[in-house]
Amino acid sequence: MMKYKSVYEYLDEVFSEKKNPSNEEIVKAKKAYWKLYFRHYHKQRRKTRKEFTLGFEPEMLSKIKNKKGSLSTSKFLYQAVCTAIDNNSLNFIQRDLLAEIQQQLMLIISYIEENLLDDKNELAYETIAKIEELELKIHNIQNYDNKEQSN
């Protein structure tokens, strides 16, 4: 906790032995107080609030600039993160995973087509149909996410 409750309390202590300080001395003492005050304030704030530094590529900065409207960039990013977390719309984390799954499904489909369809195997046709259906659902989810992102 900071030792002084106000700038006046600080000045009283600093000038306790000097009855008539000059204006220059008072200004210096006030600057010293505010330096102490802000050091204490930021130290306390860091204890309760974690801050992060983010870096963005030019293309993402352009998107942010277009979306933020009259808000400052920091305020916009803060609100965007809070909104995403509150609405459980963290689908962007899963996009890479969905893309990878879609690629694997396409490989499986081509493998089945190359190796099993020659035998006119009914099970192979059914398997391909189900996998293609799953691949289409993943594709639709990705398209939906892309549309949501562009809005």
Can you give the pTM of this predicted structure? 0.42
Measured between alpha carbons, how far is 36 from 44 in angstroms, rounded to an integer?
Answer: 12
- Helix/strand/coil percent split, the chain, to 5: 75, 0, 25
* pLDDT, tens digit, 9 for 90 and up, residues 26-63: 999 999 999 999 999 988 888 898 888 888 999 999 98
Q: 143 or 65: which carries more pLDDT confidence?
A: 65
* pLDDT, tens digit, 9 for 90 and up, residues 86-127: 776 555 556 667 777 878 888 887 777 777 666 666 777 777
- In the predicted structure, residue 23 carries a pLDDT above the cut 80: yes
